[in-house]
Amino acid sequence: MMQTRKDALRILPLGGLGEIGMNLLLYGIDDHFFVCDCGVQFCDPWMVGAEHRLPDLDLLLEYKDLIRAIILTHGHEDHIGAVQFVGSLLKVPVYAPPFAAEIIRLKEEEYGSHIVRDLLKTKDKDVVNIGKMQIRFLRVTHSIPDTFALVIETPFGTIVHTSDFKMDDDPYDGVGFDYDGFKKIGDKGVRLLLSDSTNALVEGHTRTEKDAIEAVGHLIKEAKGRVLVSLFASNVHRVLGIIEKAQAAQKRVAIVGKSIHLYLEAYRRAGYLTAPLDLVDERRIERLDDKELVVICTGSQAEPRSALVRASLQDHENLRIHADDTVILSSRIIPGNEKAIFRMINNLARLGARVFHERVAQVHASGHACRDEERQMIRLLRPKAFIPIHGEYAFMKAHHELASEEGIQDCFLVENGHLIEVTKQGIEVVERMTLNHHYVDGSLVGDAEELRLDERRKMGWHGVVAVWAFVQKKRKRLGARCSIKTIGIPTVEKKMLDELEMHLCDEIEDMPLSVQKKQVEETIEGCIRGFFRRKIDKKPFVLSFVEFEED
């Protein structure tokens, strides 16, 4: 539990430091805290029984009485995806930019439950007061509309939390990065900067969003046949930009993928989209001439149920791949998804499509600052101290070095669970807590132990053996009958099980007459494990049911 013994601003990251995703930081003075962002992380496929990873909900529960609000910087899932879980736990107001707020509401409509009661929309330069902290929203550019940095005025100085950002000087909606705003804050003096490290290993400046749209537009114009563009559904500006490019090339556009419709609807409800989009219904795709059509679809990360993956497997009711289709993956190839993405690309190629992606064409622009922009952020603000956030450890380390090179004296490399105190005298890490992450499995939420994740993974790997043993106490010795069933154990033949049953009966019958049920169960488990280890090098779970029968 966080100590409130001395006069200090406390910062406690619970996610997003040393990893990509699941961003959540606590900021607070005395007994007034707020949660900054509330993200989830997608679990690796080997994590049987877990779809999403959540920040440590038990720890948040400990701070429940101190936390007064949740403040969200933008609508990406790794910043808002856990809001329904954290929101229902803390029951505090949630402040979010209009687009993020509408995404939350639309998702609630989808689940059919209204979890976030008090959802307040925050705009550029809006101020929220939490105890002695005054938090102001300052516009940045990113790969999703409506993204803000937080400027936190405290008695210990001004803290700037950049959230995710890039410096796009020519953004799609014309609402640019607030250079003046940042410079003014810098002029007044910044005590501590916490800045996005995602691209700290990438030299230079990010490509602008319009450049990526332009590159996709060029391919659309040149294409002889149909064009399919797959992208992150949340990148609404790119979706709209590509629709414009297609229409300028005299082509019609269809959208395939529920999430793209959801984000467009959120954008519309936020008041940013007023004109109707002239779209072709996805059921009419096949009726249009190939050269007249552009399809914008989900599946850029080869997500198993996404439109493009299903089309690549010839398993989509409305979308089929034609020979001479041009497929553009206008997105990052995320390292963990690489295998699945290239499997999909191969399948698309096999069906005759020509595939363009970020490694062969400039069809994507990152939403995160590269080193030049990170440097520029530091130069605008000239902070006294610096903490890299949002990134894997190596990225944060590189960002930390960059800040040192820029002449910042106090640079800290901290991780999730490290409690930082900012006082009048200095900044230090005062505690290192071990965090217990939570997971979502359908409607279930719990930590790894509660969801039995380890057991489920091992069960999938090693299988299960159930044994029924009926033991008779005869006059001089025991008699036994056994029956065995297996689940998920490869290469088990009936002959092998018969052999095992006989072996088990022999073992039980050799036990003393005074034997207890527990000892029989232990013998069965030992026998079964030994048997499968020797035969196929597996350690299955054993369920034994022992009954003593009267002779």
By CB under 5 A, name the binding residues for Zn ion: 76, 164
CA distance 246 to 221: 8
Q: CB-wise, 76 or 332, nearer to Zn ion?
A: 76
Distances (CA, A) of 541 to 130, 451, 462, 531: 52, 17, 7, 13
Q: CB-wise, 139 or 251, nearer to Zn ion?
A: 139
With CA atoms as reference, report the closest residue to 438 among 100, 111, 58, 17. 58
CA distance 318 to 282: 6
Residue 424 CB neighbours (<10 A): 9
Q: CB-wise, 49 or 171, nearer to Zn ion?
A: 171
Task: Give least dist CB 177 to Zn ion, A.
Answer: 14
Residues 65 and 33: beta-carbon distance below 8 Å: no
Q: CB-wise, 142 or 310, nearer to Zn ion?
A: 142
Q: What's the CA angle centered on 66, arms 57 and 51, to 5 degrees?
A: 15
Residue 274 CB neighbours (<10 A): 6
Angle, in degrees to the nearest 10, between helices 236-248 and 209-222: 30
Q: What's the CA angle centered on 340, arms 334 and 344, to 5 degrees?
A: 115
Q: Provide the 3-class DSSP secondary structure of residue 269.
A: helix
Q: CB-wise, 369 or 385, nearer to Zn ion?
A: 369
Task: Give least dist CB 455 to Zn ion, A.
Answer: 35
Task: Give least dist CB 528 to Zn ion, A.
Answer: 50
Task: Give least dist CB 197 to Zn ion, A.
Answer: 13
Task: Give least dist CB 301 to Zn ion, A.
Answer: 15
Q: CB-wise, 100 or 402, nearer to Zn ion?
A: 100
Q: CB-wise, 167 or 355, nearer to Zn ion?
A: 167
Task: Give least dist CB 234 to Zn ion, A.
Answer: 8
Task: Give least dist CB 443 to Zn ion, A.
Answer: 27
Q: What is the DSSP string of 130-192?
A: ETTEEEEEEEEB-SSSSEEEEEEEETTEEEEE--S-B--SS-TTS----HHHHHHHHHH--SE
